[in-house]
């Protein structure tokens, strides 16, 4: 498998990569011969639905030093029983009006890379020498099957010093031979409540936003239409479901299981949508637990850790009861009042005008005709994404532990 890096050097596999590493001792400015920055360690692992790529360099680097450094840092991918690289994921500097590094993906044929496309991913700097990036396998044309990988740090040949006798090249690879990653279809079985028992929004730092939908499943339009729109845009959302409606509108549970398979989260929205805060303690408990049971039955084993009170009505004792049952009470801080059917443009305008980092947006996928909400959704996603927002579930936003089997 040593042909990976050798072939890349000969055929120009990484010429499309656009991550620039900060100048370091010996690297110099553009045009001054140097060597690629060595990779100290790299890893590729599965974490639930996501693939997580972590890289640590031997010295600090900056994804913003793009043009002058002539450097690239890429992840090469290939099928498990092939010597041919089929795709590369490369780090790039932030887009306009954003401070977050990006990933760019291109298909590879032979020794030639195709056009680079922005990859839907979460990229974080853990230190000046480290970087972590996570993305769905489907974003790079993969399923949950085995693959081989190798991280490569490169320096454009015209800026690269001639190899020293006995060592040196225009590439630094980790591991030295491509490694095998065994992927499996993740099955989410639950999440663990932690932190505050009542939340209205997530952390204000960063640019995360959570889309949530209440009052389903439903038939007007079918809930699966919402799931498909979100999946096509690679956007996870949180669906708060009414327990008694699950056997009516999704009797086989296929829609609920599709939600979880796509990376969405399901929350409890009571059994029958009463004012739960006005019920007796026994009635409150029944409303919460009966909905949990309905969700668990439909999904064949998923136990929610989030719940949203109907009408937003809460009391200290209800919040305490929910937490004792393993449920965080989730409110919201952006409400386009789509339930009132104000029109597609009004729903879109309200969400966009009021969106801020850490917001939890409430909309509806049941309880009435929701074609307006569905029609507004693609425009909401496109505009928020252009503004640099990362879409997450409420559980992800709150940093709750997800449990897989």
Q: How many CB atoms lie within 10 A of CB 32?
A: 12
User: Mind telling me the catalytic residues?
Assistant: 214, 364
Q: By C-alpha distance, which of 136, 131, 119 is closest to 183?
A: 136
**What phi and psi values does residue 303 have, to the nearest 5 degrees?**
-110, 115
**What phi and psi values does residue 60 have, to the nearest 5 degrees?**
-60, 150
Q: How many CB atoms lie within 10 A of CB 24?
A: 15
Tokens linked to 208: 């995360």
Q: Say whether 140 sits in a helix, a strand or coil.
A: helix
DSSP symbol at 173: E
- Residue 143: exposure state from Cβ atoms within 10 A (0-12, 13-18, ≥19): exposed
Report angle CA 46, 328, 232 to the nearest 5 degrees: 45
Tokens linked to 215: 């009052």
Q: Which residue has the tokens 């290939």?
A: 78
The CB-based long-range contact list for 395-399 (8 Å cut-off, 24+ gap) reads: 395/191, 395/238, 395/265, 395/305, 395/306, 396/208, 396/210, 396/236, 396/265, 397/202, 397/203, 397/208, 397/210, 397/358, 397/360, 398/194, 398/195, 398/199, 398/202, 398/328, 399/194, 399/195
CA distance 337 to 354: 13
CA distances from 401 to 285, 304, 386, 390 (A): 24, 12, 29, 19
Report angle CA 202, 396, 188 to the nearest 5 degrees: 150
CB within 8 A of 166, min separation 6: which ones? none
């Amino acid at each position: 498998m040593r042909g990976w890096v050798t072939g890349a050097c000969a055929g120009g596999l990484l010429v499309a990569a656009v991550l620039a590493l900060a100048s370091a001792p010996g690297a110099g400015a553009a045009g001054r011969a140097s060597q690629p920055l060595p990779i100290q360690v790299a890893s590729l692992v599965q974490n639930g639905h996501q693939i997580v790529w972590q890289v640590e360099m031997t010295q600090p680097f900056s994804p913003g030093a793009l043009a002058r450094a002539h450097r690239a840092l890429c992840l090469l991918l290939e099928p498990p029983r092939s010597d041919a690289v089929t795709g590369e994921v490369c780090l790039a500097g932030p887009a306009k009006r954003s401070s977050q590094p990006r990933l760019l993906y291109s298909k590879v044929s032979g020794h030639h890379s195709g056009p680079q496309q922005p990859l839907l991913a979460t990229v974080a700097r853990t230190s000046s020498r480290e970087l972590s990036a996570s993305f769905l396998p489907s974003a790079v044309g993969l399923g949950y099957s085995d693959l081989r990988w190798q991280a490569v740090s490169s320096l454009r040949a015209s800026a690269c010093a001639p190899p020293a006798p006995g060592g040196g090249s225009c590439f630094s690879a980790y591991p030295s031979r491509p490694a095998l990653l065994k992927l499996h279809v993740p099955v989410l079985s639950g999440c663990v409540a932690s932190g505050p028992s009542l939340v209205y929004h997530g952390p204000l730092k960063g640019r995360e936003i959570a889309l949530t939908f209440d009052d389903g499943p439903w038939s007007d339009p079918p809930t699966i239409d919402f799931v498909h729109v979100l999946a096509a845009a690679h956007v996870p959302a949180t669906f708060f479901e009414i327990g008694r409606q699950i056997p009516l509108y999704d009797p086989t549970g296929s829609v609920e299981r599709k939600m979880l398979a796509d990376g969405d989260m399901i929350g409890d929205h009571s059994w029958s949508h009463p004012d739960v805060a006005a019920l007796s303690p026994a009635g409150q408990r029944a409303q919460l637990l009966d909905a949990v049971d309905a969700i668990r039955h439909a999904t064949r084993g998923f136990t929610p850790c989030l719940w949203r009170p109907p009408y937003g009505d809460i009391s200290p004792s209800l919040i305490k009861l929910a937490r004792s049952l393993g449920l965080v009470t989730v409110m919201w801080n952006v409400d386009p009042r789509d339930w009132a059917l104000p029109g597609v443009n009004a729903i879109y305008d309200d969400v966009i005008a009021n969106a801020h980092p850490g917001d939890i947006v409430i909309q509806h996928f049941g309880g009435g005709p929701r074609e307006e909400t569905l029609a507004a959704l693609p425009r909401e996603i496109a505009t928020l994404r252009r503004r640099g927002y990362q879409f997450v579930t409420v559980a992800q936003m709150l940093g709750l532990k997800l449990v897989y089997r």
